[in-house]
Every structure is written in structure tokens, then in C-alpha cells.
Amino acid sequence: MKPEILFLVGPTAVGKSEIAAKLAQKLRAEIISCDSMQIYRGMEIITSYPAPALRKKVKHHLLGMVSPLAEFDVSRYRREALRKIKAIIKKGKIPLFVGGTGLYLSIVIDGIFKARPADKKIRTRLYKQAEKFGNGHLHARLKKVDPEAAAKIHPHDTRRLIRALEVFTATGKPISLLQKQRRGLDKEYTFKIFCLNMPGQDLEQRIQRRIEKMFKQGLLSEVIRLVKLKLSRTAASAIGIKELKGYLEGAYDLEEAKRLLKRNTRLYAKRQLTWFRKDKRINWVNIEEKEKPGQIAMRIWKELY
């Protein structure tokens, strides 16, 4: 039989970390982060790292592995993830991917197309155009040259818009066409994807509570330290950087910064769910606000066995 890989995904603040730790203990699994921001060091609060107590109970991988000054792309993530999969299976354990980055989920399972390395000149030019004309301008351009990719990429997703236009500019081929040439993991492994979800009102309340907790943990101090650094574009896009930077620069007060952070986190959660709903391989796990992590983990375990 092929070795098994599991994925536990879902929107921010839905409770993935605690449920995953309970599930990992039942399965004898090790957790691999599937979060595009938690790979950065020194961003523990703003990216909501799993609590230290959870990391003591279950081995976690690909957390805090990169300097926030460095760019990090999906191809490197996939290389690191495949290496961890093999190492965990070799130990007789199950790799359990946990996070909310749909793109990381996709490239681990489905592979990544072979394209030319990033062209810094093209990319810089596109970022300048995004700043000058807005994302709507880039999305309209992509719609003309690659309508299939434009239909899948949200107009607010600057990074993916720019990557798609960069690939087309450099190769003359739509990124959607190149992505169909990918080779996935299905020949080597079996996999199952579970996505956590809850009623929108409950999720919104959790988001609000999480952000208040983040401030109590020292979010503001963490951001003050981070904005003094020359952050990579990817790290600088973490939700919370821009919102608190506005407060630090005197554009608005702290309450407004909190409001913006809560609003933008809610919008991000909606985008995450939109991505996951497009993947028909996903098994949905609808959870109630009062349901405990152990109970949810048990439900998932029963679906597996």
C-alpha cells in the first residue's frame, strides 16, 4: 500500500492547531506547517504560531525556518515539504499538513510547473504598476492573456497576479497552461484532505477574540521590531504589518488599527474558504462553537478508520 499523507486545512482562527495536535497524537503523526507566513522567524504572534505547549506534545516542522528578510517561494516550500514527508514516513509516522494556505496545499499534492526562474526586472516593473494603477489594472491585463488564471486568482492577491503576468511575459505561455503539465504525488502516496468550517458568525467572534489575545501577547511590540527591518515583500504582506504601521506612523489611533486588522482578517478567512470550496477532493468538517478540539479530532479519526 502507498504511504498516507493527511491535510487539515481551514480558515484562520477556526482552531486548526489544537485540533491537529489532538489528531496527531491519535495517529502517531508529525505536523508539517502549511502556512505561508509561519515559515518566518520572529513573527510568532502576528502569524499565530501553534502554542509552545502544543509543539511540546507533537513534533512540528517548517515553522520559523526562514529570516523575514528573505523571499520564500512555493518551489522551495515544496522541496522542503517533500523532504519532511519522506523523513516522517521513514520513522513510521504519518505526515499531517496543517494550515490555511491553499496554494501550498495545491503545490504539495499536485506538483509545480517547471517555469523559468523569477525575472526580477519583470517582477519589479509589475509591482510598480500595481502600486501606481492598482490590482484591478493587473487583473484586467491577466484576463486578456490568461482568462482561466484570472478566474482563479482574486483581484486582491497581488503576489499571484504578478507571478501569472511575469510567467506570461517571460515565456509567452499562460500560467494556466503550464500548470496542467504538473506532476503530483498521487503515484507515490495516498492522501486525504479535511477542511474545518463553522458558521460565519462564530468564526467572526473567534477572529475578534484571537486578535485581542494577540495584543495581550505583545503583538504591537513584535510589529514595532519588524517594521524596523527590511522585510521581504512576502513577510511584509502578513496581515497586521500594514494595519499597525499606520497606527505607528500616526495615521489613526490604536482602536482603528484593531478594527482594520479584524476586518482584513475576516476578509482573508473568506478568501481562504473560497479557495478550499473549489477543491472537490476536500472532506468538510463542520464544527460547532462549543465543540472541543478532542471531540473534533475524534470525528476526523473515525472518518479515517
**Alpha-carbon gap, residue 58 to 201, rounded angstroms:** 31
Cell numbers standing for residue 115: 517555469
* Percent of all residues in the chain with a pLDDT value above 70, rounded to a whole number: 98
Report the run of H or E that residue 6 belongs to, with start and end: strand 4-9
pLDDT in tens, 68-98: 999 898 889 999 999 999 999 999 999 999 9
pLDDT in tens, 10-34: 999 999 999 999 999 999 999 999 9
Asked if the model's pLDDT at residue 272 lies above 70, the reply is yes
Asked if the model's pLDDT at residue 8 lies above 80, the reply is yes
User: In terms of domains, do 212 and 104 share one?
Assistant: yes
User: In terms of domains, do 248 and 128 share one?
Assistant: no
Q: What is the pLDDT of residue 176?
A: 85
CATH number at residue 208: 3.40.50.300
Q: What is the pTM of this model?
A: 0.82
Asked if the model's pLDDT at residue 105 lies above 70, the reply is yes
Q: What is the pLDDT of residue 160?
A: 87
Cell numbers standing for residue 146: 490568461
Split into its structural domains, the chain has a count of: 2
Sheet bearing 60-61, strands edge to edge? 60-61, 29-33, 94-99, 4-9, 190-197, 282-286
User: In terms of domains, do 130 and 201 share one?
Assistant: no
Asked if residues 248 and 227 have their Cβ atoms less than 8 Å apart, the reply is yes
Structural domain of 258: 4-112+183-304
